Structure 1
Amino acid sequence: MDVGFIGLGRMGRAMAANLVEAGHTVRVWNRSAGPEIEGATRVASAAEAFRGDAAITMLADDAALRAVIVEGGLLDAPERPAVHVGMSTVSVALSRDLAAIHARAGVGYVAAPVFGRPDAAAAGALNIVAAGPESEIGRVQPLLDAMGAKTWRFGDAPERANAVKLAGNFMIVSAIEAMGEAAAFAEGHGVAGADLLEMLTATLFASPVYKNYGGLIAAKRYEPPGFTLRLGLKDVRLALAAAEEAQVPMPFASVLRDNLLDALAHRAGDIDLAGLATVAARRSGR
């Protein structure tokens, strides 16, 4: 397929490379200079990428996606893609707006955010959460297959995929907070936090999120980041906004927001999300 890829951050660069590896023709564009993707064609503007069989966006946040696609006028350009696949983690509200804007422009829209860190992206092992018209998802399924291990479909309303993504990220941050507090608690009683986490993530909590983030917390390995605390705060805020819209109380999400703000106030915004554990450790005097 002829594909445009917009956004070459830690995740996007690996995803675009996998599309090239799968034999697709890929044009790439990034807001900054960005890395070279072997086998892909770098284009000079977002409009040159936003055309062909499909265009994929993997941008940092709502503001970036809105600036490039909507305010940048790409949906009014003479050449547009058959389908836009939005793979960024953005708000439920923006995803709903984008679906309506694309429908008016006659361009298909599929929301397909992902679960997985940069190493999973490089291995083509992402879990992709997709929502949108079945025909449009089917059209871009070969692209999703090149980037992920499995595509999970959640209906024909694109914003549902973003709700699932935010719910999942809320659970991930909750798990990190729990491990950070548990490790600080154990150390308060003379038990090494690393030993506690090694035992629990090998037994009662032997799942990828606990094992992977628990290992980072145990080793205090927060750099280089796979996903930053700053982005974690962005996602928790998005979850709270969507929760308020649906009148769904999420009291613990408010706790997580404040603890993430605490980390940013201590200049830790650009370390790995696992570094949320440092807040509990610091508050306990460790």
Structure 2
Amino acid sequence: MKIGFIGLGQMGSAMAANLLKAGHAVTVWNRSAAKADALVEAGATRAKRPIDAAHGDVVMTMLADDQAVVDTVFGEGGIAGAPALHIGHSTISVALADRLAAESGTGGYVSAPVFGRPPAAAAGTLFVVAAGPAAALDRCEPILDAIGQRIFRIGDMPSAANLVKLSGNFMIMAAVEAMAEAMTLAEKGGVDRRTLLEVLTGTLFGAPVYQTYGEILVEDRFRPAGFAAPLGLKDMSLVDTAATTFGASMPLLGIVRDHLRTVIAVEGPEVDWAGIALAVRASAKL
């Protein structure tokens, strides 16, 4: 297939590389043009504007936030109205996903946010949550197979996939918060963090989120960030907006957001979002 890929951060560049490996013809664009260099050397074509990447079968976007998506789709040289089917992988608001679906033009729109950190993106083992018209999802499936290990199709309303993604990211942060508090308690009482993690993941908490983030917390592996804390704060703000819109009470969300703000203020914006553990430890004078 002829695929455009827009947004070449850690996740996007790895996803685009897997599309090339799968034999697709890939055209890439990124606001910072140098980030496309490695993909062009691997066989991708460089686009001068976003719209230039959207004249094939599909154009995929993996961008930082709502404003970046709005600029890329509706701004000068944007992909709005392009003939390609737009697959949006970005973690964005429910409201923007609804707008993209309503104003997608002839190509159509599918939301397909992913779960997984950069190593999973590089390995092609992301989990993809996809929603949109059934025919469009059928067209997407071979492409999504190249970037993920499993595709969850959850209906014909694209924004439903974004709501699932926001809910999942909140649960990741809630799990990190819980582990950080438990490890802090254990450490204050003389139990090593590693020992606690081995017991927990070897008994009732063997899920990938506890294994992956537990190792990050045990090893203090907060730099370089696999997912920067400001992006995590952005996501939690989107969760808060959705909770207000739908009338859901989420008291734990407030704690997570405060700890994200604290760690960004103290450690700087380059820290991983799992760095909220540092805020928890600091409050216990560790």
Residue equivalent to 2:156: 156
Q: Aligned to 1:266, what secondary structure does the other structure show?
A: helix
Give the partner amino acid of 1:217. Answer: L
Question: Are residues 1:200 and 2:204 paired?
Answer: no
Residue in structure 1 matching 2:95, options 93, 96, 117: 93
Displacement after TM superposition at 1:276 (Å): 1.3
Query: Which structure 2 residues correspond to residues 137-148 of structure 1 after superposition, within 5 A?
Result: 137-148=137-148
Cα distance in 2 for partners of 1:222, 1:203 equals: 26
Structure 1 SS opposite 2:151: strand
Residue 241 of structure 1, CA deviation: 0.3
Q: 1:116 to 1:76 in 2, by over 3 A?
A: closer
Among all aligned residue pairs of Structure 1 and Structure 2, give the percentage whose two residues are the same amino acid.
49
Match of 2:84 in 1: 82
Cα distance change, pair 257–165 in 1 and its aligned pair in 2 (3 A): same
Q: Which moved more, 1:189-198 or 1:246-255?
A: 189-198
Partner in structure 2 of residue 226 of structure 1: 226
Check the 8 A contact 1:173/1:256 in 2, yes or no.
Answer: yes
Compute the RMSD of aligned alpha carbons. Answer: 1.2
Which residue does the alignment assign to 2:120?
A: 120
Rounded to whole Å, the distance in 2 between the matches of 1:275 and 1:76 is 37
Residue number in structure 1 paired with 2:49: 45
**Deviation, structure 1 residue 194:** 2.6
Corresponding residue pairs, total: 282
Cross-structure match for 1:238: 238
Asked if 2 retains the 8 angstrom alpha-carbon contact of 1:50 and 1:74, the reply is: no
How far apart, CA to CA, are the structure 2 residues paired with 1:172 and 1:257?
A: 13
Residue 277 of structure 2 is matched in structure 1 by: 277
Q: Which residue of 2 aligns with 1:27?
A: 27
Which residue does 1:66 correspond to in 2? 70
Structure 1 unaligned regions, length at least 5: none
| Cα distance between partner residues in 2 of 1:278 and 1:198 | 21
2:60 and 2:207 map into 1 onto residues whose CA distance is 30
Gaps of 5+ in 2: none
Q: Which amino acid aligns with 1:109?
A: Y
Stretch moving more, 176-185 or 27-36 = 27-36
Q: C-alpha distance in 1, partners of 2:83/2:273?
A: 35
Contact conserved, 1:180 with 1:277, CA < 8 A, in 2? yes
Supply the distance in 1 between the matched residues of 2:162 and 2:100 (Cα, whole angstroms).
12
TM-score computed with the length of structure 2 as normaliser: 0.95
Secondary structure of the 1:74 match is coil
Secondary structure of the 1:224 match is coil
Q: Tell me what 2:178 maps to.
A: 178
Contact persistence 2:56–2:84 (CA under 8 A): yes
Superposed displacement of residue 75, structure 1: 4.5
Q: When the two structures are superposed, what TM-score results if normalisation uses the length of structure 1?
A: 0.95
